[in-house]
Amino acid sequence: MSSDEPTSTVQDTAVSSSPAARGETARAVDGEPPILRVEGLTKYFQVGGGLRPKQLRALNDVSFTLRRGEVISLVGESGSGKSTVLKMLSRLEQPTSGRILFKGRDLLAEEPRSASLSYRGQVQMIFQDPFGSLNPVHTVAYHLERPLVRHRKATTPEELRRKVLELLHTVGLNPPEEFAAKHPHQMSGGQRQRVAIARALAVDPDVILADEPISMLDVSIRMGVLNLMDELKRSRGIGYLYVTHDIASARYIGDRTIVMYAGHMVEGGSSEELLDSPAHPYTKLLLEAVPDPRGNIFRELPAKSGAPQLVDPPPGCPFAPRCPEVMDVCRRESPRPVQLRRRDPGAPERFVRCHLYEEDQAPPVGEALGEA
């Protein structure tokens, strides 16, 4: 996987005030080792039980690198393996194979069975459903105290209290005293999600894994949560792995975007470039399907819907059965990742896994939607 090359510094390309572009990522200086590196991560689930259990290939050979203060967005349709990636990294599930290098340490070799407390203290997670991720029987204060106590971030009760209120203040739940005493069901979705973020922040993590943190929230409050995440990235240099199926938000917050399909990373690169000039047919389809107020409902989609076969997948490219530009080779061989030429050489490297492309070929430009 070529993404390991210690390459790029993201530059402020567009003159814009978008958080991702505003370039806190610039702190990810050349030479600084990445916080998290994933190599060839693969996960097969046993399904069907009985005499002949089958393997469901949820993740295939996933590799990427996350640096300090960088946000990588993972997008893809339901079941494409986005959450599975996060579960591996949060050590909620055991990968079938592959390596996870955390600050240079080979995690699976050092902590093969379950994660150490120290890892837990550095990698935190935010879940999709802000109601489900907070225990309905505990108060907000309890949720924040536990990690503080567990990771010895506070020693005295006063300090504990102070830190809890501080955290609540940080995530914008004011007045903190009032919120500390609340139960989850006494708060709105956005507030709950802020508590979840506060809990993740409590241990002062380097990486936050966010699994569709806004998809369950009301539209009007989504941006608040995204912006909060973004501020924390800037002020604390936290690296995010942001999972979403909303491509627009992936672009909004993600420095880089990786598109997943059937457990494969099919395309990746700087968020803007990727969306402006999608290379992989699946990415194109995805973009085409996004509702657009200006769009014409009758505009033909480039491909049909359909779920990939994850159990006993056929050889070749997983998208081949649906791909409008399918070639013979696609049905035979699984494509290798190919580096594409970047519009802006300073941008993160751009890759696609598709037989249509050759090394350093330029991606098709701006064909997505007329405007741009």
Partner 1 sequence: MSFFRQLLSNRKANIGLTLLGVFVLIATIGPYLVRDASEFLTTPLSPPDSEFWLGSTSQGQDVFAQTIVGARTSLLIGFLVGIVVVAIGATVGIAAGFFGGWVDDVLSLLTNVFLIIPGLPLAVVLAAYLEAGPVSIAFVLILTGWAWNARVIRAQTLSLRRKDFVAAAIVAGESRLRIMFFEILPNMTSLIVSGFIGATVYAIGAQVGLEFLALGDVSKVTWGTNLYWAANNQALLTESWWTIVPTGVCVALVGFALVMINFAIDEITNPRLRSEGGWKAVVRAAGVTPGFSTPVLRRGSLADSNALADSSAPALSKEAS
Partner 2 sequence: MSSTPPPAASRARPGEPLLSVRDLCVEYVTPTGPVRAVDRVSFEIGRGQVFGLAGESGSGKSTAAMAAMRLLQPPAVITGGEVHYEGRDVLAMGEDELRAFRWKEIALVFQSAMNALNPVLTVGAQIADVIERHENVSSAQALERAAELLALVGIESSRLRSYPHQLSGGMRQRVVIAIALALNPPLLFMDEPTTALDVVVQKEILQQIAELKERLGFSILFITHDLSLMLEFCDTVGILYAGRLCEVAPAKELFANPQHPYTRGLMRSFPELHGPKQRIEGIPGSPPDMRSPPSGCRFHPRCSVAIPVCDQEQPQLITLAAPALARAVGAETDTPDAPVGQQRGHRVACHVAAQTAGSSDV
Partner 3 sequence: MTYILRRLGFYLIAAWVSLTLNFFIPRFAPGDPASALQARFQGKLEPSAMAAMKVAFGLTDEPLHVQYFTYVKNLLRGDLGTSIAYFPAPVSEVIGKALLWTLFLAGLAVLVSFALGTLLGILTAWKRGSWLDSVAPPTFIFLGAFPYFWMAMLLLYALGFVGGWFPLLHAHSSHLSPSLSLEFIGDALYHAVLPAGSIVIASLGGWLLSMRNTMIGVLSEDYITMAQAKGLSERRVMLHYAARNALLPNVTGFGMALGFVLSGSLLTEIVFSYPGQGYLLFEAVKSQDYPLMQGLFLSITVAVLAANWLVDIAYVWLDPRTRS
Ligand X SMILES: Nc1ncnc2c1ncn2[C@@H]1O[C@H](COP(=O)(O)OP(=O)(O)OP(=O)(O)O)[C@@H](O)[C@H]1O
Residues that bind partner 1 (CB under 8 A): 90, 92, 115, 117, 120-121, 123-125, 127-129, 132-138, 146-147, 150-151, 196, 199, 203
The residue from 15, 50, 51, 78 that contacts ligand X (CB under 6 A) is: 78
**Region 224-253 residues binding ligand X, contact defined as CB under 6 A:** 245
The residue from 47, 149, 290, 362 that contacts ligand X (CB under 6 A) is: 47
Rounded CA gap, 152 and 73, in Å?
A: 31
Residue 171 or 210 having the CB closest to ligand X = 210
CB of 144 to partner 2, least distance (A): 20
Rounded CA gap, 289 and 363, in Å?
A: 20
Total residues at interface with ligand X (CB under 6 A)? 14
The residue from 81, 95, 176, 337 that contacts ligand X (CB under 6 A) is: 81
How large is the greatest C-alpha to C-alpha distance in the chain, in angstroms? Answer: 68
The residue from 181, 290, 327, 362 that contacts partner 2 (CB under 8 A) is: 290
Q: Which residues pair with 261 in a beta bridge?
A: 264
Q: In what order do the strands lie in the sheet with 105-106?
A: 54-66, 36-47, 97-102, 105-106
Q: Establish if 8 lies at the interface with Mg ion (CB under 5 A).
A: no
Backbone angles phi, psi at 186, to 5 degrees: -90, 5
How distant, in Å, are the alpha carbons of 14, 29, 71, 258 from that of 11? 9, 11, 14, 19
**SS3 labels along 24-55:** HHHHCCCCCCCCEEEEEEEEEEEECCCCCCEE
Rounded CA gap, 228 and 22, in Å?
A: 15
163-186 b/e with 16+ CB inside 10 Å = b?
Answer: bbbebbebbbbeebeebbebebee
Q: Which does 323 bind (CB under 5 to 8 A by kind): ligand X, partner 1, partner 3, none?
A: none
CB of 204 to partner 3, least distance (A): 45
The residue from 15, 29, 51, 297 that contacts partner 3 (CB under 8 A) is: 51
Residue 123 or 354 having the CB closest to partner 1 = 123
Paired tokens of 117: 């407390």
CB of 40 to partner 1, least distance (A): 24
Q: Establish if 312 lies at the interface with partner 3 (CB under 8 A).
A: no
Q: Establish if 77 lies at the interface with partner 2 (CB under 8 A).
A: yes
Q: Establish if 83 lies at the interface with Mg ion (CB under 5 A).
A: yes
The residue from 285, 317, 338, 340 that contacts partner 2 (CB under 8 A) is: 285
Total residues at interface with partner 2 (CB under 8 A)? 53
332-355 b/e with 16+ CB inside 10 Å = b?
Answer: eebbebbbbebbeeebbbbbbbbb
Query: Is 172 in contact with 228 (CB distance < 8 Å)?
Result: yes
Q: Establish if 46 lies at the interface with partner 3 (CB under 8 A).
A: no
Residue 28 or 310 having the CB closest to ligand X = 310
Strand stretches in the chain, DSSP E: 36-47, 54-66, 71-76, 97-102, 105-106, 123-126, 207-211, 239-244, 256-261, 264-270, 337-340, 350-353
Q: Which does 129 bind (CB under 5 to 8 A by kind): partner 2, partner 1, ligand X, none?
A: partner 1
The residue nearest Mg ion at its CB is 83
Interface residues with partner 3 (CB under 8 A) are 49-51
Interface residues with partner 2 (CB under 8 A) are 14-21, 77-78, 188-191, 218-224, 227, 245, 247-249, 251-252, 272, 275-276, 285-295, 297-298, 301, 303-305, 307, 368-369, 371-372
